[in-house]
Every structure is written in structure tokens, then in C-alpha cells.
């Protein structure tokens, strides 16, 4: 069972999630130690696909571990098969979706990142979503 390091709290409320994928992540030694201490924020993070069909994670903040000097918000390469990356790129282009991280966790001594293809919700969409959830909750309480 994977041990969750950090979750993106705002992903479920701010985005409509279409599909999820699992990716490995390329990290430095001090970053792994900092992740063990759960000193990471992925709320503002997003993924992008480069011209060489590589998947990159941007804006993920990993706090400094002890006195190690390093770039805290650097872009980190995500590890996926090239066919999977091309499939994701085609879907994103076709449906104008963005790639966001949902959670980062340990899986068999490897750090994995769960990414999702998502569409940003507008304010009125959020209100509609909240109304639907309240309706379901009220119906459930009646029966």
C-alpha cells in the first residue's frame, strides 16, 4: 500500500478530472531526504510536455534539507514511456486539457507522482458542483 507524502488539496474542487496516470520522478539526494520529512508543496504545480516529448513538473516546492544549497522550485523530469507521453499530449491538444499533479507517494521504495488530465472549472461550475453534492447528501440523509 502506497504511503502518501503530499496531496493537492485544491485539485478536486478547482478542476474536472478526466483521467489519471502514474509517473516516476527524477530527484536529487537532498530532495528525497526532504520528501521523507514530508516538506513538499504541490498545490501550485503543473506539468508540461517539451519539444523533445519529455514530461516536466514545474512549480513543485521542496523545502531545503538541513543546510544543503539547491534550487527549491526547479523543473523536475517525470519518467514515463514515450508512447504514454505522446498519448497524453494528443489528448491534451484535442480536448484543451492541462496536466496537474494529484499526489506524491512512496511505492516499493520509489517515489511516484499521480498526475491527472484536467479542465479548470469556472466559478459557476463550482457552484453547480456544490449544489449537486448537497442534493446527494440530503437524499442520502432522507433514506
* Each residue's pLDDT tens digit, 81-125: 999 999 999 999 999 999 999 999 999 989 999 999 999 888 877
Which of 94, 138, 85 is CA-nearest to residue 119? 94
Please report the pLDDT score of residue 98 as a whole number: 93
User: Which domains does the chain show, CATH number per domain?
Assistant: 3-142 (2.40.280.10)
Please report the pLDDT score of residue 106 as a whole number: 93
What is the tens place of the pLDDT at every residue in 49-73?
999 999 999 999 988 888 777 778 8
**Three-state secondary structure string covering the chain:** CCEEEEECCCHHHHEEEEEEEEEEECCCHHHHHHHHCCCEECCCCEEEECCCCCEEEECCEECCCCCCCCCCCCCEEEECCHHHHHHHHHHHHHHCCEEEEEEEEEECCEEEEEEEEEEECCHHHHHHHHHHHHHHHHHHHHC
What is the tens place of the pLDDT at every residue in 2-54?
789 999 988 888 888 999 999 999 998 888 989 899 889 998 899 999 999 99
Amino acid at each position: 500500500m502506497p504511503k502518501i507524502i503530499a496531496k493537492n488539496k485544491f485539485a478536486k474542487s478547482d478542476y474536472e478530472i478526466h483521467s489519471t496516470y502514474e509517473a516516476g520522478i527524477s530527484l536529487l539526494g537532498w530532495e528525497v531526504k526532504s520528501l521523507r520529512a514530508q516538506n513538499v508543496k504541490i498545490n501550485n504545480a503543473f506539468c508540461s510536455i517539451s519539444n523533445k516529448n519529455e514530461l516536466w513538473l514545474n512549480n513543485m516546492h521542496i523545502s531545503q534539507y538541513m543546510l544543503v544549497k539547491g534550487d527549491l522550485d526547479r523543473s523536475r523530469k517525470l519518467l514515463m514511456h514515450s508512447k504514454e507521453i505522446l498519448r497524453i499530449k494528443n489528448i491534451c491538444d484535442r480536448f484543451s486539457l492541462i496536466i496537474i499533479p494529484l499526489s506524491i507517494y512512496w511505492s516499493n521504495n520509489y517515489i511516484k507522482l499521480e498526475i491527472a488530465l484536467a479542465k479548470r472549472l469556472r466559478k459557476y461550475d463550482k457552484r453547480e458542483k456544490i449544489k449537486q453534492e448537497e442534493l446527494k447528501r440530503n437524499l442520502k440523509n432522507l433514506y
